[in-house]
Structure 1
Amino acid sequence: MGRGGRVLLLAFVLFLTSHLTTPASAATKSCLLVLSDLTSWPALIAGVTNQYEQLYLFKEISAIGLQIDNSLFPALKQLPGVLAVIPDRLHKVQTTRSWEFLRLESGGEPKKEWKYDAKFGEGVVIGNVDTGVSPTSQSFRDDGFGAPSGWRGKCDSGEDSTFHCNKKLIGARFFNAGIQVPNFLDQPVEGKQLNQTDLNSPRDYDGHGSHTLSTAGGGFVQGASAFGRGKGTAKGGSPRARVASYKACYTAGCSSLDILAAILAAVEDGVHVLSLSVGAPAADYVADLMAIGTLYAVHKGVAVVASAGNSGPQPGSVSNLAPWILTVGASTMDRDFAADVVFGNSTIKGRSLSASTLPVGQPYPMISGQNACAADQSIDNSTLCFPGSLDPAKVRGKIVVCTRGVNGRVEKGLVVKQAGGIGMVLCNDAGGVDIIADPHLLPAVHCSYSQCWDLFKHLQSTQFPVGYITAKDELGVKPAPVMADFSSRGPNTITPQILKPDVTAPGVDVIAAYSEEAPATDLPFEDRRVPYNMVSGTSMSCPHVAGVAGLIKAKHPDWSPAMIKSAIMTTGESRVQQATELH
């Protein structure tokens, strides 16, 4: 970092450092030690203790990542030349239709502005800090790519001898020192523990990183779909850009020290755009290592895009608030994965991502979970299609109507399938609002409480009720976009006068590449592996904007991050699409 940049960062730290607090209880913790001079830091710390471990040396920002007893934090702060002691924090990771909805293509054909003016992002390198990447995904083929020029990065395969980069996926690295500090993960979630295979490879064992990176810069892949739905040509916003993966997140979470290391490495490697679909609760900028790292990145000319978080609609829940970050909320697009239940003379509408449906016009017997109760189970359990609650003799060969609640939505379908059922209608209870397009294990449809009233009446009034389930992809759904309920909202709790999020982008039901090293869902019984998957979150909207930033950088290579951010914000609109407009 040049002298001017370092002075800028140190001034920033000095201005805000008085707001930091120190944990009261003593334990071995990781932290960032920011110094005015790195020359003699070992001797400086030796005046306090010799019991520490160096995790990272950040020459770019004159700082060190340490593992040390946090009871010593106050003593470290008093040492001459120490500007700040910043505790590490846990962060979490927050398509075939998106780009037509965003008017970059029409009728499946790219518009000239996308193809010729911005050249699909050719010449740009997009970096992604996430859970890694699947190098075998078709989205990262290097067909037609030449050797990159000016690239300073590397492909660090770690202990994974089968991992290889190419002329499209030109870089892959991983950072794991912070996540492995004892007690950093005080209470790991079951099934999300650290494992050495994941820790020592840039490969994606979660699916999140492959999805986000392919959304930003994945190449053209024809015939992509999620469980057979939404079939089309998958591509990122900058499909001719090169991409680099910086793995700092694992199935158990992300260390902010590892994220900082990844950001600084990406800048030094030569990326032009950084996509960060990770976040933590808002904190003062000086206590937010992502804010510090991205300030350095922007100062070096790298445009930074980050997710707003998935804690909506709670006011003030937005994260990644630093004004130099382009913060992205999530909204819908005009596609829906619709499904219908046809019975008697009625049809009720719902949603589903089931890979199969029942033959149209071929009715099947229907039964409610309440009436399918096993002899040793309560009706309350069978109504919910709870494991073991259904009588196979009553269910076999039938469509079962289950009520939402307690156990998982897809799990209910598994219960029906194990009991011999051939389909499921999932009905919201009175308190349910949203209906979800889940990748069910059998033909299924999720319907609202009001829609299901007619179905329950039919089941009660008909001696031998029959029906069938159909599904179809609907395009041109109105209104769109609509803010996703989960998308974190403002106001900005750190700097209220600066509005956040900055923009919104498609983040609901987004189809993109996935890692076949990871199960298709988080369900404990999941054994399916898919090359493309449908996921929702501000993690999905963030790389959409990163892809657009790549296009602008390709067309205007001399533009600064602030100019790119301004161009995106000032050309967006706030009205919903009613006809052919995008807003």
Structure 2
Amino acid sequence: MNIPTIIPLFLSLLLLFPPLAICDERQRTYIVYLGSHTQQYTPDQILETHHSCLTSVKDSEEEARASLIYSYKHSINGFAASLTPQQASKLNELEEVVAVIESRPRKYSTHTTRSWEFSGLNLAAGYDVAESMKKETTMAEAGDLLHRAGYGVWPEAESFSDEGMEAVPKSWKGICQTGQEFNSSHCNKKIIGARYYIKGFETYYGRLDATEDYRSPRDKDGHGTHTAATFAGRQVRNASALGGFARGTASGGAPLARLAVYKVCWPIPNQEKIGGNTCFDEDMLAAMDDAIADGVQVISISIGADEPLSPVNDSLSIGALHAARKNVVVVCSGGNDGPKPGTVVNTPPWILTVGASNMDRGFLGTVVLGNGMKITGQTVTHHKLPKRLPLISAADAALPWVPDNETDQCLPDSLAPEKVRGKIVLCLRGSGTRYLKGVEVKRAGGAGFILANTAALGDDVFLEPHVLPTTAVTYDETREIVRYIRSAKGNATARLREPRTVLGYKAAPFMASFSSRGPNVIHPCILKPDVAAPGVNILAAWSQASPPTKLSQDRRSVKYNFDSGTSMACPHVAALAALLKAIHPTWSSAAIRSAIMTTASTRNNKGRTITDERGHTATPFQFGSGQFCPSKAADPGLVYDASYTDYLLYLCSYGLKNAGERFNCPKFPPPMYDLNYPSVSVPKLNGTLTIKRSVMNVGGDGNAVYFFSAKPPLGMTVTARPSVLFFSRVGERKEFTLTIEAREYYGEGGYGFGWYSWRDNYHVVRSPIAVSMG
């Protein structure tokens, strides 16, 4: 067994700072991470220690105080400050410093009426899990995930009504921070806290332009409101979007939960809002430090870096580790860079990472071609084109200077108006945003357009409120339309019919093409993502300051809107975590993660294996343990528990020798693959490997007997010792070992997948296995 050597980049100063940067005297923002607070210091005392640390590298105490941007005073010990690379280098040499991280304006990804019913949680009918939830449950909402800006909340949305809710619990320590268009009256018994963090952004870009976003917790973009409502929105009857689509009772998964909002992402100046947003590490770390101190129990973070980051180079990872110390559950989106492998982000074992899947609801709009063929696509534009209009491919209408590989994309200023005017245009997905493709067709005078999938996107169709009549079609349907256009030789026609809502129109869930995939390139012994949840075409509340397309050309205002991304999947799982917190208040964050993972399903609503966007069998690198299953997670039978100390030992094995507190790594820390995780990932197996695990009995009956079974990866065997576990009481723990043996070589570097389970008469505690050959 050869586990690959992982180089701890954060331990080497030369790897953190380029060799020539040492002579650079320009001020930059750095986060100086000191680990955890080891003693009970007051905030003022902590602030003074941070000032003292800065004074050691600054010319005066006044300069040290002026350079400080944030002092992290609660769970996290550290600060953000303006430093030269030379000053940062000197601080990194101090024994008490764990890491010095240069802040960069990273492009973080801002990674419902049907989704909860589809997931088996019938909130409208008063499902007992939701009803049993405690009102003290709180949640920190930190953003969202589809390359969007302007996080926060639109407090006037009906989803955030506090009607019938009891007084704010006395245990709550948060505040309602005022600002532009946001005052203390916007907090209530539902939204019990609101803050915003902008110092890092404004240190880099200068003061925020108040016309681009609210300098307050108010949401100008829509996605903060959308994800918050998906998590904890109250039940709103007769909700719909865009003139009647998806009409029904809108509800979050934890409608009685309290909500606290922490706004950390802002629009990049002078950029189109779609994709023009950023979140700074120092702002996010300050938000998480405050959220933990405020008393939140579940933190839902629909944000992810544009690439996987090492655990101490990533502010979300640092913040989540400290949340785990306080037993706060942290749920994060896994990213939107699929289907490329190795793209999943937010991958440490102390984070619950979520992938996105599709539901069974369709808004079917028929495209009737001139030859009589009917193509059933999807749309949420009520406009219809009942009479036949000329149909043209964008590739046949592109201007002469458009590159050959972009002619079919309907990119801005790419279409010739004389060829498009009055026609329906076939635009291929790929480069550019989907909204702007419709804007380009409209600019060129087109009457409507068909949004066509590429082979890589398969059946993954997005519903979006385009600025003109639109129908989106799958790859197979795209091929039929292209075939017809070619055969018609310039005389192709089509018409777009009025859409209709259909439930159960196809097997679901199936994985979204955009959902980022494993393997986990940062923590290869931790399988990610952990679970999947609905993340495509989710209906939820929206900011009325933002049009449904987010485009300046769009003058519409809506109360509800559709959106897609692992951002939308994340609050589904966070809501389930909040319900489990209410039902099992003594469970650790690791136990809650385990319950969600080991009860997840790998079957769709037709009883077959979950597939990807092309109809192929999906793997744990796409859905982790499977699609989350709220109705089963409350009673998982057994859980895989882990403590904060376990995570520190894991970091010792990873290569971090200084956790910034009174914790000394043992000379021989346990291997990373022995962390008590509910899944198994083994890179480069060469022969045989034995892995340690333990489970705790949380079933209702203290007396229980569990039997082992396995479906190993191809060419391998998986055995457990012992193969039968006997429990006599609730809370009892049993250890076992898993032995994985490669009996047959089946290809270098490729992963094989399997499962193992513990079963009694009622529970099935299932864990995925991913193994690659050495």
CA offsets per residue over residues 361-406 of structure 1, 9 Å max, x none? x53343436899799999x9998766672349x945xx52334367
Q: Indicate conservation of the 8 Å contact 1:335/1:474, yes or no.
A: yes
In 2, the alpha carbon distance for the partners of 1:65 and 1:146 equals: 38
Cα gap change, 1:411 to 1:502, in 2 (>3 Å): closer
Aligned-residue offset at 1:207: 1.4
Work out which of the residue numbers 208, 232, 245 in structure 1 matches 2:261. 245
- Residue 335 in structure 1 maps to residue 372 in structure 2: no
Work out which of the residue numbers 526, 533, 545 in structure 1 matches 2:573. 545
Q: What residue is the counterpart of 1:126 in the other structure? A: 139
Q: What residue is the counterpart of 2:392 in the other structure? A: 368
In 1, the alpha carbon distance for the partners of 2:314 and 2:454 equals: 41
Describe how 1:29-48 pairs up with structure 2 within 5 A: 29-35=28-34, 38=46, 40-48=49-57
Describe how 1:293-308 pairs up with structure 2 within 5 A: 293-308=319-334
In 2, the alpha carbon distance for the partners of 1:485 and 1:267 equals: 34
Q: What amino acid sits opposite 1:54 in the alignment? A: L
Unpaired runs of 5+ in structure 1? 1-14, 186-192
In 1, the alpha carbon distance for the partners of 2:574 and 2:396 equals: 50
Q: What amino acid sits opposite 1:351 in the alignment? A: Q
Cα gap change, 1:505 to 1:436, in 2 (>3 Å): closer
CA offsets per residue over residues 123-182 of structure 1, 9 Å max, x none? 311211121111111111111112111221111012435571111111110111112223
Cα gap change, 1:395 to 1:300, in 2 (>3 Å): same
Q: What amino acid sits opposite 1:166 in the alignment? A: N
In 1, the alpha carbon distance for the partners of 2:608 and 2:96 equals: 59
Indicate the larger mover: 478-487 or 342-351. 342-351
Cα gap change, 1:413 to 1:73, in 2 (>3 Å): closer
In 2, the alpha carbon distance for the partners of 1:489 and 1:429 equals: 19
Aligned-residue offset at 1:234: 1.3
Aligned-residue offset at 1:238: 0.1
In 1, the alpha carbon distance for the partners of 2:178 and 2:417 equals: 49
Q: What amino acid sits opposite 2:166 in the alignment? A: G
Unpaired runs of 5+ in structure 2? 1-7, 38-45, 144-150, 268-276, 610-626, 630-774
- Residue 22 in structure 1 maps to residue 47 in structure 2: no
Q: What residue is the counterpart of 2:174 in the other structure? A: 153
Work out which of the residue numbers 187, 208, 226 in structure 2 matches 1:165. 187
In 2, the alpha carbon distance for the partners of 1:109 and 1:182 equals: 46
Q: Indicate conservation of the 8 Å contact 1:211/1:513, yes or no.
A: yes
- Residue 103 in structure 1 maps to residue 129 in structure 2: no
Question: TM-score when scaled to structure 2?
Answer: 0.65
Cα gap change, 1:531 to 1:148, in 2 (>3 Å): same
Describe how 1:425-464 pairs up with structure 2 within 5 A: 425-427=450-452, 433=458, 435-447=461-473, 448-453=477-482, 455-456=484-485, 459-460=488-489
Work out which of the residue numbers 270, 276, 280 in structure 2 matches 1:255. 280
Describe how 1:556-575 pairs up with structure 2 within 5 A: 556-575=584-603
- Residue 136 in structure 1 maps to residue 156 in structure 2: yes
Q: What amino acid sits opposite 1:449 in the alignment? A: T
In 2, the alpha carbon distance for the partners of 1:78 and 1:372 equals: 62
CA offsets per residue over residues 337-384 of structure 1, 9 Å max, x none? 3221124532112222213334xxx53343436899799999x99987
Q: Look up the SS of the partner of 1:296 in the other structure.
A: helix
Q: Look up the SS of the partner of 1:479 in the other structure.
A: coil
Q: What residue is the counterpart of 2:685 in the other structure? A: none
Aligned-residue offset at 1:275: 0.3
Cα gap change, 1:577 to 1:71, in 2 (>3 Å): farther
In 2, the alpha carbon distance for the partners of 1:403 and 1:525 equals: 20
Cα gap change, 1:466 to 1:563, in 2 (>3 Å): closer
In 2, the alpha carbon distance for the partners of 1:152 and 1:141 equals: 21
Q: What amino acid sits opposite 1:145 in the alignment? A: M
Q: Look up the SS of the partner of 1:171 in the other structure.
A: strand
CA offsets per residue over residues 86-124 of structure 1, 9 Å max, x none? 22243342111110111011xx843533343x34x6331
Cα gap change, 1:387 to 1:564, in 2 (>3 Å): same
Q: Indicate conservation of the 8 Å contact 1:311/1:318, yes or no.
A: yes
Q: What residue is the counterpart of 2:73 in the other structure? A: 59
Describe how 1:272-291 pairs up with structure 2 within 5 A: 272-280=297-305, 281-291=307-317
CA root-mean-square deviation: 3.4
In 2, the alpha carbon distance for the partners of 1:567 and 1:155 equals: 34
Q: What residue is the counterpart of 1:5 in the other structure? A: none
Cα gap change, 1:345 to 1:250, in 2 (>3 Å): same
Q: Look up the SS of the partner of 1:559 in the other structure.
A: coil
In 2, the alpha carbon distance for the partners of 1:565 and 1:432 equals: 30
Q: What amino acid sits opposite 2:178 in the alignment? A: S
Cα gap change, 1:455 to 1:324, in 2 (>3 Å): same
Cα gap change, 1:432 to 1:103, in 2 (>3 Å): closer
Q: Look up the SS of the partner of 1:508 in the other structure.
A: coil
Cα gap change, 1:177 to 1:389, in 2 (>3 Å): same
Cα gap change, 1:436 to 1:277, in 2 (>3 Å): closer
Work out which of the residue numbers 197, 208, 233 in structure 1 matches 2:223. 208
Q: Indicate conservation of the 8 Å contact 2:298/2:330, yes or no.
A: yes
Cα gap change, 1:451 to 1:111, in 2 (>3 Å): farther
Q: What amino acid sits opposite 2:57 in the alignment? A: V
Q: What residue is the counterpart of 1:73 in the other structure? A: 88
In 1, the alpha carbon distance for the partners of 2:141 and 2:399 equals: 54
Q: Indicate conservation of the 8 Å contact 1:355/1:439, yes or no.
A: no
Q: Look up the SS of the partner of 1:355 in the other structure.
A: coil
Q: Indicate conservation of the 8 Å contact 2:581/2:587, yes or no.
A: yes
In 2, the alpha carbon distance for the partners of 1:558 and 1:178 equals: 37
Identity score, percent? 38
Aligned-residue offset at 1:497: 1.3
In 2, the alpha carbon distance for the partners of 1:216 and 1:88 equals: 30
In 2, the alpha carbon distance for the partners of 1:569 and 1:375 equals: 51
Q: What residue is the counterpart of 2:296 in the other structure? A: 271
In 1, the alpha carbon distance for the partners of 2:425 and 2:545 equals: 34
Q: What amino acid sits opposite 2:505 in the alignment? A: V
- Residue 219 in structure 1 maps to residue 234 in structure 2: yes
Q: Indicate conservation of the 8 Å contact 1:145/1:167, yes or no.
A: yes
In 1, the alpha carbon distance for the partners of 2:529 and 2:505 equals: 25
Q: What amino acid sits opposite 1:223 in the alignment? A: N
Work out which of the residue numbers 577, 580, 583 in structure 1 matches 2:605. 577
Cα gap change, 1:63 to 1:452, in 2 (>3 Å): same
CA offsets per residue over residues 32-62 of structure 1, 9 Å max, x none? 2234885544344323224551111112233
Q: Indicate conservation of the 8 Å contact 2:30/2:82, yes or no.
A: yes
Indicate the larger mover: 17-26 or 253-262. 17-26
Q: What amino acid sits opposite 2:599 in the alignment? A: T
Q: Indicate conservation of the 8 Å contact 1:216/1:546, yes or no.
A: yes
Q: Indicate conservation of the 8 Å contact 2:457/2:513, yes or no.
A: no
In 2, the alpha carbon distance for the partners of 1:238 and 1:93 equals: 22
Q: Look up the SS of the partner of 1:350 in the other structure.
A: strand
Q: Indicate conservation of the 8 Å contact 2:377/2:472, yes or no.
A: yes
Q: Indicate conservation of the 8 Å contact 1:274/1:302, yes or no.
A: yes
CA offsets per residue over residues 437-467 of structure 1, 9 Å max, x none? 332223221334212046426754869x564
In 1, the alpha carbon distance for the partners of 2:279 and 2:289 equals: 16
- Residue 231 in structure 1 maps to residue 247 in structure 2: yes
Q: What residue is the counterpart of 1:349 in the other structure? A: 376
Q: Indicate conservation of the 8 Å contact 1:22/1:73, yes or no.
A: no
Equivalent residues, number: 550
Q: What amino acid sits opposite 1:135 in the alignment? A: P
Q: What residue is the counterpart of 1:11 in the other structure? A: none
Q: What residue is the counterpart of 2:352 in the other structure? A: 326
Cα gap change, 1:503 to 1:19, in 2 (>3 Å): farther
In 2, the alpha carbon distance for the partners of 1:19 and 1:377 equals: 48
Q: What residue is the counterpart of 1:389 in the other structure? A: 416
Q: Look up the SS of the partner of 1:244 in the other structure.
A: strand
Indicate the larger mover: 517-526 or 64-73. 517-526
Cα gap change, 1:462 to 1:208, in 2 (>3 Å): closer
